[in-house]
Amino acid sequence: MAVLLIAEHDNKSLKDATAKAMSAATALGGPVDVLVAGHNAKGVADAAAKLAGASKVLLADDAQYANQLAENMAALVVELAGKYDAVLSPASTSGKNFMPRVAAALDVPQISEIVSVDGPDTFTRPIYAGNAMQQVQVAGGKKVITVRTTTFKAVGTTGSAAVESIGAAKGPGTSEFVRDELSKSERPELAAARVVVSGGRGMQSGDNFHLLEKVADRLKAAVGASRAAVDAGFVPNDYQVGQTGKVVAPELYIAVGISGAIQHLAGMKDSKVIVAINKDEEAPIFQVADYGLVADLFKAVPELEEELKKQGY
């Protein structure tokens, strides 16, 4: 089965999500070509060529792919799709944006956010905020799949695929990029961090997130949040963890002042170890926490930072 995997990147670096989606792609059993569509993205293509399992990297380097507009990305992928039996991409906001267009153009259903490849045409995906797992079989036609990357291991970088430059497809020209307002952070990316410290409505203000950042700095952690904290303007939208935000599965997830609504749990319950700090001992978050601390966060979080410091973190 010939597979096309679409790389996740920001024109500068290849994202870890691509290496994870590569695991899903190779599980389909066939040569996997990687498409890097971007602008001045030769470095990304070179990194993709090292992914174990890549048989070829296609580089479409053109100004129209600088911001991965869905209309242009879909036109390109659809043009390439003829040669492939399956098209995969990480279920990032970028993949979610253009992949359904590809599926519609090919007149096939899309299988969203698979968490396992159970057979060449059989996949499992979460529904209802992960409260049920649906196993589906594709009848025929090309497969269009997005991959929940937290459940797949990143492949190694032992590959040495050739990079082939390809031309741009004719974009429909119906949309244009205006601007980006990207969150700047020295911390690891939320989706890839080994430790995540998240705050909820209990944090009371954006300023108070500094308490969490201090802990995060000691543990080289990313900082996340609940929807309530984002809605209240404490932190930017890209901090949101959950059913309709980011899905994370770090080694350690520390939930502070978060009640544990199902929509939040959907985004973090696959973490290896969960810690909850909440003053309400009845909070549902304790039902999934490996270690629960019933305490006022304004006392416990500074203490935690102090203790970590004492222990040399």
Partner 1 sequence: MKVLVPIKRVVDYNVKIRVKADQTGVDLANVKMSMNPFDEIGVEEAIRLKEKGVATEIIAVSVGPQEAQETIRTALAMGADRGILVKVAHEVEPLTVAKILAGIAKAEGPQLIILGKQAIDDDSNQTGQMLAQLLGWAQGTFASKVTIEGGKAEVTREVDGGLQTVRLNLPAIVTTDLRLNEPRYASLPNIMKAKKKPIDEKSPSDYGVDPAPRLKVLKVSEPPKRKGGVKVKTVQELVEKLKNEAGVI
Ligand X SMILES: Cc1cc2nc3c(=O)[nH]c(=O)nc-3n(C[C@H](O)[C@H](O)[C@H](O)COP(=O)(O)OP(=O)(O)OC[C@H]3O[C@@H](n4cnc5c(N)ncnc54)[C@H](O)[C@@H]3O)c2cc1C
Site for ligand X in 186-215 (CB under 6 A): 200-202
Stretch that binds partner 1, among 38-46, 47-55, 156-164, 287-295 (CB under 8 A): 287-295
Query: Is residue 298 part of the contact set for ligand X (CB under 6 A)?
Result: yes
Distance CA 89, CA 107 (A): 18
The values of phi and psi at residue 280, to 5°, are -100, 110
Considering only residues 31 through 60, tell me which ones interact with partner 1, judged by CB under 8 A.
none
Which two three-digit tokens encode residue 175?
A: 């949309």
Query: Is residue 142 part of the contact set for partner 1 (CB under 8 A)?
Result: no
Nearer to ligand X among residue 195 and residue 229 (C-beta): 229
Nearer to partner 1 among residue 165 and residue 272 (C-beta): 272
Nearer to ligand X among residue 5 and residue 228 (C-beta): 228
- Nearest 10 degrees: Cα torsion 218, 220, 226, 231: 90
Helix (H, G, I), strand (E, B) or coil at 103: helix
Query: Is residue 262 part of the contact set for partner 1 (CB under 8 A)?
Result: yes
Write down the least CB distance from residue 34 to partner 1, Å. 19
Give which of ligand X, partner 1, none residue 3 binds (C-beta under 5 to 8 Å, depending on kind). none
- In this chain, which of 34, 45, 58, 74 binds partner 1, going by CB under 8 A? 74
Sign of the torsion angle spanned by Cα atoms 199, 203, 208, 212: negative
Q: Residue 127's Cα: distance from chain center in Å?
A: 17
Stretch that binds ligand X, among 65-73, 146-154, 180-188, 220-228 (CB under 6 A): 220-228
Query: Is residue 226 part of the contact set for ligand X (CB under 6 A)?
Result: yes
Q: Residue 73's Cα: distance from chain center in Å?
A: 19
Considering only residues 184 through 223, tell me which ones interact with partner 1, judged by CB under 8 A.
191, 195, 219
Contact between 200 and 253 (Cβ < 8 Å) = no
Nearer to partner 1 among residue 31 and residue 120 (C-beta): 120
Buried b (16+ CB within 10 A) or exposed e, 12-46: eebbebbbbbbbbbbbbeebbbbbbbbeebeebbe
Q: Are strands 162-166 and 110-114 parallel, antiparallel or unpaired?
A: unpaired
What amino acid occupies position 167?
G
Query: Is residue 243 part of the contact set for partner 1 (CB under 8 A)?
Result: yes
Query: Is residue 279 part of the contact set for ligand X (CB under 6 A)?
Result: yes
Nearer to ligand X among residue 155 and residue 274 (C-beta): 274
Distance CA 284, CA 280 (A): 9
Per DSSP, 241 falls in state B
Give which of ligand X, partner 1, none residue 258 binds (C-beta under 5 to 8 Å, depending on kind). ligand X
Query: Is residue 93 part of the contact set for ligand X (CB under 6 A)?
Result: no
Binding site for ligand X (CB under 6 A): 200-202, 226-229, 240-245, 257-259, 261, 263-264, 267, 278-280, 283, 296-298
